[in-house]
Amino acid sequence: MNNQVIECQHIVKKYGSKFALNDFTVSIPAGKVTGILGPNGAGKSTFFRMVMGLVRPEQGHMQVLGSRPGWQTNKDIAYLPDRARWYADHTVEKAMQWAENLLPGFNRERAEKLADFMDLDRSMKVAGMSLGQEARLMLLICIARDVPMILLDEPFSGIDIVSRERIIGTLIDNISETEQTILLSTHEIDEAESLFDHVVFMENGQVRLTGEAETLRAEHGSMETLYRKLYR
């Protein structure tokens, strides 16, 4: 049985003359937390968008949950886009209703519990929220879904420490309770690295290094140290 939720083989994607993904080959294991790491421009966001079928490769072969990526497979994926914002005219309550109506697998009960844990009052308006609160809301919308895979593109970017800790706490609960596959890209390696089962280091649209986090730790030290080593 194929235990890889995502398989990429020799994927190429260009924007003009610049390669976003250049002979990109990777396999993402099911049921684990995989960290997608790398500097700006490494191709992390392009990779995520490709998994969601929002961007198509020019060359290469790709399978997501056993099918070609596209809107049909997206019903099984919860995606937090990079630099995402939420609808400014919503309240927390309205956001949850939107998700309930439009996002398959949205678990209202779990969402309510998460909202309490994240300290988000139902009547709070999105327009009046801090970025950290907005980030917590968007993460909640993604995580409160009973779907096989969750993609989080830079969920910690620009977020205050308290919000980050809540998010990490939520993810830990999620990992305990479910068999979901989680893909997470981030710059805040030191905070998130203890969550990773598996890591993929990217650079210039290619995979530089990939493996089990614990194995890599034994060989190289912390993921942060390894990151510095790789991208000196």
Partner 1 sequence: MAQHVFMHLVKHDAIRRRARSKEYSRWWLAYPVLVALVGIVYFTIYVSSGEFQPQYLLYWTVALPYGFFMIAFARTHRERQNGTFGWWLSLPYSRFLLVSAKYTASVLYGIFCVLIAFVLTTLLSGYASLLNPMFGGDFLKQFFKAEFLWYGYLLCFIPFMAAYGMLTSFVGMSYLKPLLPLMWIGFGLSGNGFIWLTTKWQAFKEGPDPLHFAPQAWSWWGIVASFVAAGLMLAASAKIMEKQLRL
Partner 2 sequence: MNEAQVGRMRFRIDLSQPLYEQVLDQIRSSIAKGEIDLGEKIPSVRELAQALKINPNTVMRAYQELERDGLTETRRGQGTFITTKAEQVQTIRQNLAEKAIEEFLNKMNSLGYHLPDIQALIEEKGGSRR
Tokens of 75: 């019903």
Amino acid 69 reads P
Q: Quick check: 209 binds partner 1 (CB under 8 A)?
A: no
Residue 206 bridge partners (DSSP):
203
Q: Which two tokens stand for residue 94?
A: 């309205």
Which residues within the stretch 120-179 sit at the binding site for partner 1 (CB under 8 A)? Answer: 125-128
Q: How many CA atoms lie within 13 A of 85 on its CB side?
A: 10
Report residue 216: phi and psi, to 5°: -65, -35
Site string for partner 2, 9-48 (x = CB under 8 A): -----------------------xx---------------
83 near partner 1, rule: CB under 8 A: yes
**Cα four-point dihedral sign 149, 179, 161, 189:** negative
Other Cβ atoms within 10 Å of 199 Cβ, number: 24
CA distance linking residue 94 with residue 102, whole number of Å: 12
Q: Of the candidates 172, 228, 229, 231, which one interacts with partner 2 according to CB under 8 A?
A: 172
The backbone region for 66, taken as left when phi is positive above 0, alpha when psi lies in -120 to 50, beta otherwise, is left
* Beta carbon nearer to partner 2, 82 or 224: 224
Opening angle at CA 11, ends 7 and 14, nearest 5? 145
User: Which of partner 2, partner 1, none does residue 168 bind (CB under 5 to 8 Å by kind)?
Assistant: partner 2
Residues 183-202 that bind partner 2 (CB under 8 A): 190, 193-197
Q: Does 232 bind partner 1 (CB under 8 A)?
A: no
Could you give the string, one character per residue 9-28, with x where binding to partner 1 holds by CB under 8 A and - elsewhere? --------------------
Q: What residues line the site for partner 2 (CB under 8 A)? A: 32-33, 165, 168-169, 172-173, 175-176, 190, 193-197, 214-215, 217-218, 221-225
Q: What residues line the site for partner 1 (CB under 8 A)? A: 49, 52, 54-56, 71-75, 77, 79, 81-89, 98, 101-104, 125-128
